[in-house]
Amino acid sequence: MASSTDNALTGERQTAARCLLARPLIAARRAPEEFALIRSHSDWLIQRFHRTLGYELTVAEDHARLAKAGLVRPVSQPPRRASGVPFTPRTYTCLALCLAVLVEAPPRITVAQLAAQVRAAASEAGVDLDPDTRRGERGALVAALRHLAWWGAVTVDGSALSAYVTDGTAQAELGVHAAIARDAMAHPPTSTSEPAVFLGAMADDDPVDDAAGETELRRMLAETAVVYRADLSDRQRARLARHQWRAVSELGELLGCDAEIRAEGVALVLPGETGGESAAVFPNADPTGHAALVLLERLVARLAPERGPTDALPVPPEVMEQELAAVTDPEGGEQRGWARTAAQHVPDPGETTNQVLDLLHTCGLAARTGDAAAGPHEGWCLRPAAARYGGRPPSPGTEEPE
């Protein structure tokens, strides 16, 4: 029987591993407790991540970086602004150019000086970008800098950044941490003709080699909310059937997680504190998470009241529209939960709709089967994992669909 000391040691290691999986770049300055935990168990974490997932972990004096491999398309979560809006291509461009400049920047630099160097780097790359004269591009630059500050690559006064957006001559000084900026790029950029070529070289969803195939499956289980057997290739589906218990056991040793193994697929169940930059946690106490949970309960109760979906269950557009309206109505309904938060801004129904549907899609609970251009209510289906959240009765006064 394991002693209490051994259990505590194992728990600390698994907590550190979950932190890194959810937030692959952790700076001591931004998360001192998490970094101290990672630093104290660095040898174990380096070995286990490499053996279990094929990930490379670097632990430096002031930061830790978990460089992931594979699964580029299925699990990538876009960086978002404070409003929840995903980065635009322009903001991504600013982020990449800032990283290129910061690796050789002095320890202190003003935002105006950084903007000038970003403009020069953009010109060298053939990109038209000028934060000095264009307010919209100053906003994109500031969004990139806020994200870099969250990573720990820079330190900056947030109010000074806000002033710079409206006035390009406003003085705002940055503290630069070049080592973190250098490690922010998990993989050195390579020259390719198209983005699809670069992404294709980063991942192989269906390896021929059995060892590589098992590693890919463990990555899917660790990084994806639900791994549906129907989504896998024949070769990977057969590997999952043979090795699912071993994969779950190895991931349990690394992450301290449980698992649900069903006919439809496999899902890891991580402890409640897990969350971070790339992790979509469901259910959660966030207002968007609450609205998504209520919507899911209502849809399951209305469309599959007895057992819930065991396969993809189409959601008629009129049903999705009615239930979304009940959840996102700012005058009442379920969105009144926003009033119980400290937030001063209540999103409009359209913004809430997009965030709710995006969360359900990311967590493998709903899928888009039609053209997104047709409208937010069109072409949705519930996936089998949605059945576990059923039970809430349908909206009063609505009729059951035929």
Most confidently predicted of 155-164, 293-302, 338-347: 293-302
pLDDT tens column, 180-236: 999 988 776 666 667 677 666 666 677 888 998 999 999 999 988 889 999 899 999
Residue with tokens 């070529």: 197
Percent of the chain's residues with pLDDT above 90:
41
Other CB atoms within a 10 A radius of the CB of residue 60 amount to 16
SS3 270: coil
Mean pLDDT across the chain: 82
Cα–Cα distance for residue pair 248/130, rounded to 1 Å: 50
User: Angle at Cα 38 formed by Cα 36 and Cα 40, nearest 5°?
Assistant: 70
Cα–Cα distance for residue pair 352/355, rounded to 1 Å: 5
Q: Please enumerate in sequence order all residues whose Cβ is within 8 A of that of 178, keeping only pairs 6 or more positions apart, or say none.
A: 102, 103, 104, 105
Tell whether the model's pLDDT for residue 341 goes beyond 70. Answer: no
Find, among 78, 50, 234, the residue nearest to 143 by Cα: 78
Give the global pTM: 0.81
Cα–Cα distance for residue pair 17/36, rounded to 1 Å: 13
How far does the chain reach from its first CA to its final CA, in angstroms? 57
Cα–Cα distance for residue pair 187/184, rounded to 1 Å: 9
pLDDT in the model for residue 37: 96
Indicate the pLDDT class of residue 391, thresholds 50, 70 and 90. Answer: low
Q: Phi and psi (nearest 5°) for 101? A: -80, -40
Domain range list for the chain: 4-71, 89-184, 210-269, 287-389
Indicate the pLDDT class of residue 393, thresholds 50, 70 and 90. Answer: low
User: Angle at Cα 149 formed by Cα 145 and Cα 151, nearest 5°?
Assistant: 115
Q: Please enumerate in sequence order all residues whose Cβ is within 8 A of that of 318, keeping only pairs 6 or more positions apart, or say none.
A: 377, 401
SS3 200: helix
pLDDT tens column, 269-316: 888 655 554 456 777 777 888 888 999 999 988 887 665 566 788 999
Instruction: Assign residue 206 a region (left: φ > 0; alpha: ψ between -120 and 50; beta: otherwise).
Output: beta
Residue with tokens 């309904």: 333
Contact 102, 181 (CB under 8 A): yes
pLDDT tens column, 303-313: 876 655 667 88
Indicate the pLDDT class of residue 345, thresholds 50, 70 and 90. Answer: very low
Q: What is the domain class of 89-184 according to CATH?
A: mainly alpha
Residue with tokens 């970003």: 118
Cα 12 to Cα 15, 39, 207: the distances in Å are 5, 11, 34
Most confidently predicted of 60-74, 184-198, 383-397: 60-74
pLDDT in the model for residue 310: 66
pLDDT in the model for residue 290: 87
Residue with tokens 């150019």: 97
Tell whether the model's pLDDT for residue 349 goes beyond 70. Answer: no
